[in-house]
Amino acid sequence: LKDYPVIELGASLGVTSLALNGILINKQIVSVEANRKLIGNLESTKLLNQLHNWTILNYAIDYSGASHVKFTIDPANLGSHKSHSHDTTNIIEVPTITLKLVNKKWLNAEKFVLIADIEGAEIEFVLNDQVLLQEYCKQMILELHDTQYRNTFYSKSQIASLIKTECKMNEVFNDGKTWVFNK
């Protein structure tokens, strides 16, 4: 982990980002957080701790081709996610980005570590950015979630299996919630 820059999807309150900054001396960290209500806290943490190697982005990972998606904000910040509801309570519009574009625009790394907790949206980069993950990703640390994507249900174990076969990664840890894959 400490030898490579990190892309973190789902920065939330920044606890993981802050810990990474303590481990990754002089390595770039790019954190993507869809909940814009958390961006100010993340920026304050960055400033307070003088973390010049940390880039914070307000986007949602998405491969639909849309410029924005609807995003449901959980008031307790325990499960904010892309919205599939017509209810407008706690829903905001968020600009979209792909994992490949995050790497290209802000990291431009030939090798990186991916850390993600994005409430089921991990299936999107697994299915749509396989070449990037095969060629550039050295390690993935993911909280996997059962999810529905393009009218297909994917269990956590099915997503893990896709990572192994399609992204050419080896599973080295799995506690049923968090998975670690290495090259």
**Gap between the Cα atoms of 13 and 10, Å rounded:** 9
Q: What is the pLDDT along the chain (183 residues), one digit of tens a residue?
A: 678 999 999 988 777 777 776 676 678 989 999 988 889 988 998 898 888 888 999 999 999 999 999 877 766 555 555 555 555 567 889 999 999 999 999 999 899 999 998 888 899 999 999 999 999 999 999 999 999 999 999 999 999 999 999 999 999 999 999 999 999
DSSP 3-state assignment of 16? Answer: helix
What single-letter DSSP state applies at residue 183? -
DSSP H or E run through 68: strand 68-72
**Gap between the Cα atoms of 6 and 56, Å rounded:** 12
Burial 158-174 (b: 16+ CB within 10 A, else e): bbbebbeeebebeeeee
